[in-house]
Amino acid sequence: MEVLYRSTRGHGEQVTASQAILQGLSEDGGLFVPVEIPKLDTDMKVLSEMTYQELAYTVMSKFFTDFTEEELKHCINSAYDSKFDVPEIAPLVHADGAYYLELFHGATIAFKDMALSILPHLLTTAAKKNQVKNEIVILTATSGDTGKAAMAGFADVPGTKIIVFYPKNGVSPIQEKQMVTQKGNNTYVVGITGNFDDAQTAVKNMFNDKELEAELDAAGYQFSSANSINIGRLVPQIVYYVYAYATLVRQGAIKDGDKINVDVPTGNFGNILAAFYAKQMGLPIAKLICASNENKVLFDFFRTGVYDRKRDFILTTSPSMDILISSNLERLIYRLCGHDADQCSQLMKALTAEGSYEITSEMKEQLSDFYGNYATEAETAETISKVFEHAHYLIDTHTAVAATVYRKYTEETKDKTPTVIASTASPYKFTRSVMNAVDSKYDAMGDFELVDELSRITGVKVPQAIEDIRTAPVLHDTVVDACDMPAAVKNILGVK
């Protein structure tokens, strides 16, 4: 079955997977969604015996139907290789009553590696398939993890440049050091004085700026995206939920057909949307647990049906979730609208113009797959301490938000369904926050002293990604206001 894609705000026009990946964002400002979600029709016993790479091909080939087997397998094998420090790519660890899906064994020790390792290969393959002559400029905003993972993937990839914008005072010291020390003749990092939403909005506006598009085209460039708005980011994330289920079956923790819950620390809504798509494919997922930090716009949405970004932006110890405009929620809204692009477009326009929208009661009734809750900063720290104390397993701040919400969910529902928690980052990425949660005495230590102490108390080797930045020189030090981001892009590209 050929799977085509259309925009959440379009008029039914359809494009191939490779065209959707190339464009990133539709010209009408909408996000590409598959016209139909393909079914997972491979026997689970067969899936449970596959390697990660084999299973990735089985899932992705159902979505990326205009890629040949050779092309897609080349992309997969180039992505999921020795840059991951464990052969299983995404290990599943049972600790403190839940199954932690460790998505941080790639080059930048965060879950973004799972999709951003393959996106450059998908994108360059798509460019060849569509006879693209321009150099592709990857333009992305990051709340901390996407930027580094995207740059690591695209560094020195021929025919591409990558420009990353991040909130200067809104990421962890390790996250910032990872980005500003990034090597590669085609990588550019720019701090902004605003927050992530400011950066993300400016990037979307640049994608929709026809005058800028014409200027870039004349200079031999065209934009594409590495954010989770790109369907080439979203589909690879479906894979690890299928892999987690298959692993539980192989380990005998569940039987084929048994239901599981999936609990995801959520900011831009891409990671949990991938789990929702896995469920639509037929994976036996019962509840999708959406965990927020104190920027609890999604919790309020699931509770009330009102999405309202008009609130204070809170800087937390889980900065990758410090987001008030969850872009990928638009893909779910489109589905709740019954694929009515006009209705979806009106809601998104209301969010831009008025700062909020409200879905109908009929749409809200369709949210029964989801459970939303949030964790305070104090609860997040307490969970890190308790899980370490109970299981000698140290989790990062984002994973701790999910673990906190899982505890609230089980207390509220008494549901005993086996639950997979998406562990989205290594504790080494947020060392100070994690170590302070274990014991406040650690606050007196320097950042890399804390790294060594974390290794000592857990027995977990310091990841190469951290070793690499201990003494790495700063290569990127530009900082601009959000309103000056287009000028910064033109300056980088030498476009007058």
**45, 73, 112, 441: which one is catalytic?**
112
Contact 260/419 with Cβ under 8 angstroms?
yes
DSSP alpha helix (H) spans, 94-230: 112-116, 119-129, 146-154, 173-180, 196-207, 210-218
Burial-class residue 108 by CB neighbours within 10 Å (0-12, 13-18, 19+): buried
Residue 490 appears among annotated catalytic residues: no
**Residues in contact with 264: Cβ distance below 8 Å, sequence separation at least 6, in sequence order:** 271, 272, 275, 288, 289, 290, 291, 402, 421, 422, 424
Residues in the chain: 496
Q: Token digits for 27?
A: 């010209």
- Tokens 């987001």 found at: 323
> What is the C-alpha separation between 421 and 272, in angstroms, rounded?
11
Amino acid at site 169: N
> What is the C-alpha separation between 455 and 458, in angstroms, rounded?
5
Return the number of other C-beta atoms located less than 10 Å from residue 447's C-beta.
Answer: 15
Q: What are phi and psi for residue 438, nearest 5 degrees?
A: -70, -45
For 191-225, b where at least 16 C-beta lie within 10 A, e where not — what string? bbebbbbbbbbbbbebbeeeebbeebeeeebbbbb
> What is the C-alpha separation between 80 and 59, in angstroms, rounded?
15
DSSP state of 442: G
**Residues in contact with 309: Cβ distance below 8 Å, sequence separation at least 6, in sequence order:** 197, 297, 324, 325, 351, 355, 356
Determine the 3-state secondary structure of 396 from DSSP: coil
SS3 content of the chain, % helix, strand, coil (to 5): 50, 15, 35
| Closest by Cα among 127, 417, 176, 146 to 270 | 146
Contact 300/261 with Cβ under 8 angstroms?
no
**Residues in contact with 437: Cβ distance below 8 Å, sequence separation at least 6, in sequence order:** 380, 381, 382, 384, 385, 397, 400
Helices (H) and strands (E) in the chain — how many of each?
A: 22, 15
Catalytic residue annotation: 112
